[in-house]
Amino acid sequence: MVLLAAVSLAFAAMLWPFQGPLLWSLVIGLMFAPLFRRVMTATGQRRSLAALLTLGVVLLVVILPLVLLSAALAGEAGLAYDKLQSGEWKPAAYLHGLYNNLPPDAVALLGRIGLGKFSLLQAKLVDGVSQGAQFMATQALSLGQNAFKFIASLFITLYLAFFMIRDGDSLARTLRHALPLAPEHKRELFAKFATVLRATVKGHLLVAAVQGSLGALAFWALDIGAPLLWGVLMAFLSLLPLVGSALVWLPAALYLLGTGSVWQGLALLGYGVLVIGLVDNLLRPLLIGKDTRMPDYLVMISTLGGIAVFGINGLILGPALAAMFLAVWHIDMASRPS
């Protein structure tokens, strides 16, 4: 057992630099397994051909749109940063106009939390906007400089995804057989892992994409600058329960109202509440199912913790590890004598 543990840890350490391609190839294999089975039937049970055709669908439906979106986002982030640096965008002037139109109660509330003077509020908000734009521009530049690394990771992901699609069932059976647990515990662990992985991708990421797309569409229609950039930010923030994308569209609506663009502000406010806000309540239970959901607070903290530790891969790894944590503790508690 010591030798087994040592060799397994050494092998895991060797593969750690490829955690991203391994994770996303696993996600692709799991999410597109139903399509693979249908293609298998259509191709007369020819596994390699069916896996290749399924991977082609993944390229057209998932990979190509993401690559195009990333390129467009990088360009828009750089443009936004240039406008801030050149003075074409003047957040200080915008904020001053908004501050002057605040009702007295709101000004009094800002005073109680130490932001009664506009200069203090302006410094904090402008600094936050500038740092955010600079970060996005830096990431865009980094993406261009690391294009070869990105292409190499994408190739490895697709290469591994082919085998995950084709041989996923046999790999799962081998792993299930190797685990030193009772059969019912194995079934629970594997079912929990697969359920949460699907729920994270279908429920959280798809809902985030829908909310971000709807938000970007509204910002474009109202001629608010950098709609794609704001849409991506709304998609990311929609992973947070309760507040989510409202952290972007609500201040934008209040700004429009405070600067005299009344109908635009009311339109964005109504659209945010009735359209963007309801997506989470309507789509998430439909895509995930109430019985498979973890508590919202656990989803939020595991997602943020996963991103802090694993980067973008934490969107998947965070909730998956939280689900495995709950499943293992449930197995341990159930196996103890009452």
279-327 residue pLDDT tens: 777 776 666 555 556 676 777 788 778 888 887 788 788 888 887 888 7
**Which residue type occupies 139?**
Q
Q: Go through the chain and tell me how many residues it has.
A: 338
Tell me the backbone φ, ψ of residue 251, rounded to 5 degrees: -60, -35
User: Vertex 195, ends 160 and 178: CA angle to 5°?
Assistant: 60
Q: What is the pLDDT of residue 163?
A: 92
> Which DSSP letter does residue 241 get?
S
Give the rounded distance of the alpha carbon of 46 from its chain centre: 35
Q: How far apart are CA 150 and CA 144, in angstroms?
A: 9
Whether 67 shows a pLDDT value over 80: the answer reads no
Whether 53 shows a pLDDT value over 90: the answer reads yes
Q: How far apart are CA 37 and CA 173, in angstroms?
A: 17
Residue showing tokens 């019912």 = 184
Burial class of residue 207 in the structure, from the number of CB atoms within 10 Å of its CB (0-12 exposed, 13-18 middle, 19+ buried): buried
Two tokens, residue 294: 């973890």
The Cβ-side half-sphere exposure at 214, using a 13 Å CA radius, reads 22
Whether 198 shows a pLDDT value over 80: the answer reads no
Q: How far is CA 65 from CA 44, 71, 336, in A?
A: 30, 10, 50
Q: How far apart are CA 41 and CA 57, in angstroms?
A: 16
Q: What is the pLDDT of residue 79?
A: 67
Q: What is the pLDDT of residue 118?
A: 53
Banded pLDDT at 52 (limits 50, 70, 90): very high
| Span 123-141, pLDDT tens digits | 655 565 555 555 555 555 5
Q: Which of 26-40, 198-212, 217-231, 276-290 has the lowest mean pLDDT?
A: 276-290
**Does residue 285 contact residue 206 with C-beta atoms inside 8 Å?**
no
Q: SS3 for 114?
A: coil
Q: Is the dihedral of CA 26, 31, 34, 39 positive or negative?
A: negative
**Does residue 267 contact residue 256 with C-beta atoms inside 8 Å?**
no
What stretch of H or E contains 132? helix 118-145
Closest CA to 201 of 31, 321, 318: 31
Q: What is the percent of the chain where pLDDT is above 90?
A: 6
pTM value surpassing 0.75? no
Residue showing tokens 């939020």 = 300
Banded pLDDT at 49 (limits 50, 70, 90): very high
Q: What is the pLDDT of residue 10?
A: 92
Q: SS3 for 188?
A: helix
